[in-house]
């Protein structure tokens, strides 16, 4: 593609976003003249969504939620690392200030981050981040190595990664303190399937996980 053609393409794709924005705003106003007044008044989301940065998984669209219903944090492979101040700040704000009732960690089959973690090679700057997924493999090595089909093993690691990130959410002080005081938030683990567009609920036993981790990670004492 020639330089001129590239410039025109970039301008067209940029302008298209603003045209779509105008149409969306007009549609919302037509449906509810007070929509943007209510949106501007503040947010009271029920959900904190921790998902993968993959561009094919927009949280609101696949769940049918409207603006204001989900507080969203996304990163490569939907990780929750205690040294990631971004993720920790999001969880703390969502729980302590927005008082979300549900926290969802949502992964997806075919995750590029999980696939990269399975690669036996040096990936430079990505190494420290992907090590978190490799650690998940190490924790579940026996189960995963017993799965002979490569795609099935890949999919199971995606699920186990979601489960481990849910545990990491439960380990945080803000979640433990809020649940002890109010009975929420509850943590869920979901996986999105591109093949049919459906979400799989991994049915995390939140209270069971909380009870088990608090032998070591109990942070409810102030």
Task: Judge if pTM exceeds 0.85.
Answer: yes
- Predicted pLDDT at 98: 98
State pLDDT tens for residues 132-183.
999 999 999 999 999 999 999 999 999 999 999 999 999 999 999 999 999 9
φ, ψ (nearest 5 deg) of residue 175:
-70, -45
Give pLDDT, residue 222: 61
58 sits in the region (left: phi over 0; alpha: psi -120 to 50; else beta) called: beta
Alpha helices, DSSP H, located in the chain:
3-31, 35-40, 59-63, 85-96, 112-118, 127-139, 141-145, 150-170, 173-182, 206-217
- DSSP label of 76: G
- For residues 190 and 199, the answer to whether their CB atoms sit within 8 Å is yes
Nearest of 98, 92, 87, 93 to residue 42 by alpha carbon: 98
Using alpha carbons only, give the angle 139, 206, 96 rounded to the nearest 5 degrees.
Answer: 110
Active site residues: 52, 54, 56, 108, 111
Question: Sign of the C-alpha dihedral, residues 136, 140, 143, 145?
Answer: positive
Question: For the segment 19-59, what is each residue's pLDDT rounded down to a tens digit?
Answer: 999 999 999 999 999 999 999 999 999 999 999 999 999 99
The SS3 call for residue 79 is coil
C-alpha distances in angstroms, 191 versus 20, 97, 109? 29, 27, 7
**Dist. CA 204–CA 74, nearest whole Å:** 20
pLDDT tens digits for range 70-118? 999 999 999 999 999 999 999 999 999 999 999 999 999 999 999 999 9
Which is it for the CA torsion 11, 15, 16, 18, positive or negative?
positive
CATH superfamily of domain region 43-217:
Carbonic anhydrase (3.40.1050.10)
- Asked if 86 and 140 touch (Cβ cutoff 8 Å), the reply is no
**What pLDDT score does 120 carry?**
87
- Greater pLDDT, 120 or 168: 168
């Amino acid at each position: 593609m020639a330089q001129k053609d590239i410039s025109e393409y970039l301008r067209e794709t940029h302008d298209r976003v603003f045209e779509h924005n105008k149409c969306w705003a007009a549609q919302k106003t037509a449906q509810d003249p007070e929509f943007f007044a209510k949106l501007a008044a503040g947010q009271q989301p029920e959900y904190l969504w921790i998902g993968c940065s993959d561009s094919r998984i927009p949280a609101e669209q696949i769940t049918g939620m409207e603006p204001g219903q989900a507080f969203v944090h996304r990163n490569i492979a939907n990780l929750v690392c205690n040294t990631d101040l971004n993720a920790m700040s999001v969880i703390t704000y969502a729980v302590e200030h927005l008082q979300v009732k549900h926290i969802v960690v949502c992964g997806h089959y075919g995750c590029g981050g999980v696939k990269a973690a399975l690669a036996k090679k040096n990936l430079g700057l990505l190494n420290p981040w992907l090590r978190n997924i490799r650690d998940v493999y190490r924790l579940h090595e026996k189960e995963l190595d017993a799965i002979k089909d490569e795609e099935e093993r890949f999919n199971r690691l995606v699920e186990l990664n979601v489960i481990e990130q849910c545990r990491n959410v439960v380990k945080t002080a803000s979640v433990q303190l809020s649940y002890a005081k109010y009975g929420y938030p509850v943590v869920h683990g979901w996986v999105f399937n591109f093949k049919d567009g459906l979400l799989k609920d991994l049915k995390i036993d939140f209270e069971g996980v909380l009870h088990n981790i608090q032998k070591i990670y109990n942070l409810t004492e102030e």
